Amino acid sequence: MNILLTGGLGFIGSHTAVVLSQQGHQVTILDNLCNSQIGVLANLEKITNQKLPFYEADVRDTQMLCKVLSENQIEVVIHFAGLKSVSESAQDPLKYYDNNVGGTIGLIEAMQVQKINKLIFSSSATVYGIPHYLPCDEDHPLAPINTYGKTKLQAEEIMRDLVVSDPAWSIVALRYFNPIGAHESGLLGEVPNGVPNNLMPYVCQVAIGKLPHLNVFGDDYETKDGTGERDYIHVMDLAEGHLAALNYVNHCPGFEVINLGTGIPCSVYEVIAAFEKSARRTIAKKVQPRRSGDLPIYFAKADKAKQLLGWSAKRDLQTMCDSSWKFQENLSK
Ligand code: NAD
Ligand code: UD1
């Protein structure tokens, strides 16, 4: 099929581009490079051994989108393009509503003009907010506690209304848990801007000596070892989840929300231990007070993805750490 990936040079989009291309799909990428590098395209082409059409453009540019959709005879769009920093979304909420909600509206308008009605959307487990129960299923109440999460929820709601207004649409919103890891080649991975906020990129930078130690945000939670527990999912499993969702949107009209997680929580100390094994070195760490806005533990109920998409995550924490380390080592060469 002809598939447009908005934000396709980013962390998750680039890994999905590999999986889709290797399955024989024709992938077109649109990205404004606000959080990615053009060099990712060359690495993508190296891995897939294919030339991928690329447009440096913004999803809010509806005219440009119409051109890209028609020029490449796009049949399905996967909408990764978005801003994802929780802290930045608190400082600059308008930027987040404009990009994440405005960008989604612009994209849908262009799709309507071009009569394309199949869409897969990058949502986030952050739409659930503070867990009322665990594991978190898709019926869990929706109460995001940060602006970033609210933009994701609003985008989902727009899609839900759209499908009611026109049942020919087929939309799947995938709620990702904590994606980490990298492509096995070591050529693609996550490249954070500035000092990382998230655990895995921070650990990677401590391992190569760019940062002196990891700050462990709290070791007094009521969790297995006192540190926060999360549902880390390998980015290649996530990418394969998009392939499964592609098959689904092709056959099933309507709107569905589906968790993509492993269903297995891992603690900060477990991640450090696995990473130390991968990198064969010790990660210096200092226990700090809890980070404001952090949850002690959350993880997915991953049954719906299995039932509807026939997909489940296969790769374990060690594989996630091995691939993250390989990518980090390559980056620092
Ligand atoms: P990323 O920042 O690596 O990739 C997003 C890409 O979109 C970047 O290449 C960026 O340049 C591009 N982009 C942003 N705004 C754009 C715009 N207006 N027009 C065109 N391109 C634009 O992020 P990622 O980790 O790959 O995440 C992809 C999607 O998944 C995002 O929507 C994010 O909110 C969502 N998500 C990510 C996580 C995570 O932990 N990584 C978790 C849940 C959901
Ligand atoms: C964060 C975002 C969430 C987003 C997710 C993407 C916040 C409040 N939440 O979630 O919206 O969807 O990233 O993956 O920012 N930790 C440390 N030291 C660090 C970094 C993290 O101890 O330097 C701990 C955290 O306290 C947490 C765990 O590691 O227990 C994971 O943190 P992180 O990778 O930031 O992910 P989330 O907190 O789940």
Model confidence at 174, pLDDT cuts 50, 70, 90, reads very high
User: What pLDDT is recorded for position 270?
Assistant: 98
Return the number of other C-beta atoms located less than 10 Å from residue 270's C-beta: 17
In a domain, 122, yes or no: yes
Active site members: 148
In a domain, 256, yes or no: yes
- pLDDT of 167 > 90? The answer is yes
SS3 content of the chain, % helix, strand, coil (to 5): 45, 20, 40
Q: What rounded mean pLDDT belongs to the chain?
A: 97
pTM over 0.75: yes
Q: Is 85 in the pocket of ligand 1 (CB under 6 A)?
A: no
User: What pLDDT is recorded for position 333?
Assistant: 78
pLDDT tens readout for residues 121-162:
999 999 999 999 999 999 999 999 999 999 999 999 999 999
Helices (H) and strands (E) in the chain, counts: 12, 13
User: What pLDDT is recorded for position 193?
Assistant: 83
In a domain, 273, yes or no: no
148 Cβ contact list (under 8 Å, min separation 6): 83, 84, 85, 86, 89, 96, 100, 124, 126
CA-nearest of 17, 258, 10, 229 to 124 is 258
Which of the ligands is closest to the CA of residue 82?
A: 1
pLDDT tens readout for residues 209-242:
999 999 999 999 999 999 999 999 999 999 999 9
In a domain, 125, yes or no: yes
Segments forming the whole domain that contains residue 104:
2-181+231-263+299-314
User: What's the gap in Å between 246 CA and the centre of ligand 1?
Assistant: 19
In a domain, 155, yes or no: yes
The minimum-distance atom of ligand 2 relative to the CA of 227 is: 30
User: What's the gap in Å between 122 CA and the centre of ligand 1?
Assistant: 8
- Structurally, the chain folds into a number of domains equal to 1
Q: Is 269 in the pocket of ligand 2 (CB under 6 A)?
A: no
237 residue type, one letter: D
In a domain, 197, yes or no: no
In a domain, 310, yes or no: yes
How far apart, in whole angstroms, are the C-alpha atoms of residue 255 and residue 248? 11
The minimum-distance atom of ligand 2 relative to the CA of 271 is: 29
- pLDDT of 293 > 90? The answer is no
246 Cβ contact list (under 8 Å, min separation 6): 1, 3, 20, 25, 76, 78, 120
Which of the ligands is closest to the CA of residue 17?
A: 1
In a domain, 138, yes or no: yes
The tokens describing 131, both together, are 């867990």
User: What pLDDT is recorded for position 311?
Assistant: 98
> Residue of the nearest CA to atom 33 in ligand 2?
198
Specify the DSSP element, H or E, that contains 90.
helix 86-91
CATH number of the domain within which 42 lies: 3.40.50.720
Q: Is 103 in the pocket of ligand 1 (CB under 6 A)?
A: yes
> Residue of the nearest CA to atom 4 in ligand 2?
126
Return the number of other C-beta atoms located less than 10 Å from residue 184's C-beta: 16
- pLDDT of 194 > 90? The answer is no
User: What pLDDT is recorded for position 113?
Assistant: 97
